[in-house]
Structure 1
Amino acid sequence: MTDGDGTFNVYTNMNNMKIIFTYKISLMSKNTQLLYKIKSYLNIGSVSYNNKNNPNMVSYKVRNKNHLLNIIIPIFDKYPLLTSKRFNYLKFKTCLLISEDNNLSQMEKLIKINNIKNIKLMDNYMSDAWNMIIKNENINYNTRKTMMTSSAILTLNVENIKKIMTKSWLIGFIEAEGSFFLTQKSSNRLVHSFDISQKLDYIVLYGIKLLLNINNTIKDRKTYFKLETNNSKNIEYIMKMFMYADHKSMFLGMKSFEFKIWVRSYFKYKNDYNKLLKVREIMMKYRKNI
């Protein structure tokens, strides 16, 4: 969930010498129960609805420095983020440790922290979590095209990917970034589709492609990368991957509802255009009301 919808923010104010740290996951309001589940699991933080920019958003936040240092930081040190969120996390952690340094004055802390905040993400950044199965220095790309054709990435296989990309991680990431839907293939044909997009982190989509056994190539849409499939074998593989033996969904948020409708309509109404059209209308209406 954090790799998809999480943020690590450091707020500084030179006028009142203030430093505030916030770890946050923000979701649409229909996913409130999922944030309360995370809060219950960690037993820290708060769930807030007061988002002025988007009243339909709800956020889980942790601001207590002791909780950040003793609960949040150990989680992400043990299970490193796989996307470029890792870059933000490492800056956040460094700033948090600086704020705890009793050998520095408050002004010295502010100056150091602001300098770190100003460090920009490199275009070809890759989380060091991938170093376990691939060496960063082996990827020497400066364009999106060379990134997509890098031999260091293309030689990855399912077994290496599983070492760092667990099913639990995949469920959380798809909960945040994936989509199950029906797409129009012709005037009287609807098919089940799955897609997931990323602005950066091509390697993450490549790992997901391998884990989900998707044959399609990852598309470069200039401003983002997209992995999509409507191949029946791929779709059935995805459905099986995220269902328990009793056919219950492994997703815990609003994706669970979307996934259940998607799966049921596949086995019950596949090739029945009129039935699938009604199902698609239900799914689209549900998303609009999120």
Structure 2
Amino acid sequence: MRQSACEYLKNMSYQRLNVEPSFNFHEWLVGFTDGSGCFSITQQSQNLQCTFKITQSVYNYRVLYYIKKNIGYGSITQDGFKRVQYCIRDTKILKQIILPIFEIYPLHTSKHIVYVLWKQALLYPELRSVVQSRILSASYLTCLDNLFEVKPIEVTKQSDSDVRRAILSKSLSQKRLEPTKSWIVGFVEADGSFFLTKKGSEGDIVHTFCITQKHDYALLEQLKKRFHIKAKIKHNQKTKAYVLETTNTRNIRFLIQFFHGTFKGMKSLEYRIWARSFVKNKGLSDELLTVQNQLRKLKKVKV
């Protein structure tokens, strides 16, 4: 007898009780930041100010309130049309709260390069104008694929070599680290896509999972391995981005179980619609077409 979607998803939660590590908000936050966060230096009156910021569509404002509630600091404001942003500009809070999180739990994308520069600006205010130009310069943006190209700004003759060794050591350790589940959940919540698409000559509607990255091919390889995806990572010539995508039934089942009950924002709604339709409607074209249109409408709301 075929299980209902609710029974299937409920059974998965029981299966995971003794095998999954507990959720780590800080790791989740680092993953979400790797996907949607920003470390910047902006002009405020006569001073340059370091800022930690995460921007989302108004559609997903709830995830920013979730972040603010857990961090305990920061502000949420409008950021143009249909966009909201969570910001922390207070130097004391950045040093005491934000910096330790990203020192303990590393970024896994090339955003790590910007973070290293931003951290120097936060700790050494006299370097902020130099760091700002480096972050914005084309030379740094074009080397984002290679963590080893990061060169720390000279602080003093005595400390320069120590800073350089520390950053190189950090980069080396990151190269060996595998993303944790909490990080992956945060990253996919920010950058992953769950949708339905037509496949094959008969136009069958199939469930699809996709992540796109412009610079971080190595990270996609790690996720490909973690999700047991056999499909090759493709390079989109039009967007100049790498694409990890699967429609494989076994992969989809694994992903449904992996992400069950994990998302904090509106991604949870998209995931639930996607996952339940796989369990309940797989192979039923009319029903899947309805779900496909439903997910497309949600996507339009986000834009």
Scaled by the length of structure 1, the TM-score of the pair is 0.79
1:79 & 1:283 partners in 2: Cα distance? Answer: 33
Code of the residue aligned with 1:30 in structure 2: it is Y
Q: 1:46 aligns with which of 48, 55, 75?
A: 75
Please give the residue correspondences for 1:1-290 in structure 2 after superposition, counting only pairs within 5 Å. Answer: 1-12=32-43, 17-49=46-78, 51-52=79-80, 55-99=81-125, 109=126, 112-119=127-134, 120-121=140-141, 122-126=143-147, 131-132=172-173, 134=175, 163-185=177-199, 186-222=201-237, 223-243=240-260, 249-290=261-302
Contact kept in structure 2, 1:10 and 1:92, CA below 8 Å: yes
Code of the residue aligned with 2:255 in structure 1: it is I
Q: Residues 124 and 285 (structure 1 numbering): CA distance in 2 closer, same or farther, change over 3 Å?
A: closer
Give percent identity, aligned residues only.
36
The structure whose RCO (Cα within 8 Å, separation 6+) is larger is 2
Contact kept in structure 1, 2:197 and 2:208, CA below 8 Å: yes
Code of the residue aligned with 1:270 in structure 2: it is K
* 3-state SS of paired residue (1:217): coil
Contact kept in structure 1, 2:34 and 2:111, CA below 8 Å: yes
Contact kept in structure 2, 1:188 and 1:273, CA below 8 Å: no
Gaps of 5+ in 2: 1-31, 135-139, 149-167
Q: Residues 130 and 257 (structure 1 numbering): CA distance in 2 closer, same or farther, change over 3 Å?
A: farther
Gaps of 5+ in 1: 100-108, 135-159, 244-248
Q: Residues 95 and 123 (structure 1 numbering): CA distance in 2 closer, same or farther, change over 3 Å?
A: closer
Greater per-residue helix proportion: 2
Contact kept in structure 1, 2:53 and 2:86, CA below 8 Å: yes
C-alpha displacement at 1:187, in angstroms?
4.3
2:89 & 2:216 partners in 1: Cα distance? Answer: 28
* 3-state SS of paired residue (1:113): helix
Contact kept in structure 2, 1:212 and 1:237, CA below 8 Å: yes
Code of the residue aligned with 1:171 in structure 2: it is V
Moved over 4 A (4+): 127-130
C-alpha displacement at 1:20, in angstroms?
1.4
C-alpha displacement at 1:131, in angstroms?
2.3
1:194 & 1:24 partners in 2: Cα distance? Answer: 27
1:253 & 1:126 partners in 2: Cα distance? Answer: 31
1:43 & 1:205 partners in 2: Cα distance? Answer: 32
